[in-house]
Amino acid sequence: MNIEIRERNVNDVNEFCEFLPKLDDEAEFMLFEKGERNISKERIQKNIESVINDGDMCYVALTNGKIIGYIIAVRESFIRTNHVAVVVAGILEEYCSKGIGYLLLQNIIEWASANKVKRLELTVITENERAINLYKKCGFEVEGTRKAATLKNGRYYDEFYMAKILEG
């Protein structure tokens, strides 16, 4: 399988609009329920432009020209916390456990190091062992637990706060 990792750009609007509903339909541990996310070309276009203009970063993983995963890091906007970026990632299920998440995280870590980001942070449902193992492999550590942070199908789930402090 040939995987390309690159920065998301304004030409990705249509493809990203097709990717997100697929991700929401199948991703057991993502935030959005099926059909909950407001996806429109205009909204995605504005999001892409905002990420670029604000100095944040979004990488996409593609195979055969189709987006199969993404990772985004959004920096805090205040002077005292501008060294912190929140990370969110998602990969279509059939492409999980193939090293794509690792590649996406490595790209975000390299971007963060080059852009004066000292701290990367994220939350992950405590039962999402596959993701937790990946984050730990990339140097993230559990810093705490948010009890009953997510509700899905009438059941509450805890989330871990995880972070990686970058050298330098």
Mention every residue, 6+ apart, whose C-beta is less than 8 A from residue 66.
15, 19
User: What would the pLDDT profile of 105-162 be if each residue is shown by its tens digit?
Assistant: 999 999 999 999 999 999 999 999 999 999 999 999 999 999 999 998 899 999 999 9
Q: For the chain, list the domains and their CATH numbers.
A: 4-165 (3.40.630.30)
CA distance 87 to 117: 12
Mention every residue, 6+ apart, whose C-beta is less than 8 A from residue 52.
9, 10
Q: Is the pTM here over 0.75, yes or no?
A: yes
Q: Cβ distance 73 to 61 under 8 Å?
A: no
The residue behind tokens 């995987």 is 3
CA distance 152 to 97: 24
Alpha helices in the chain (DSSP H): 13-26, 41-53, 100-114, 129-137
User: What would the pLDDT profile of 37-88 be if each residue is shown by its tens digit?
Assistant: 667 899 999 999 999 999 999 999 999 999 999 999 999 999 999 999 999 9
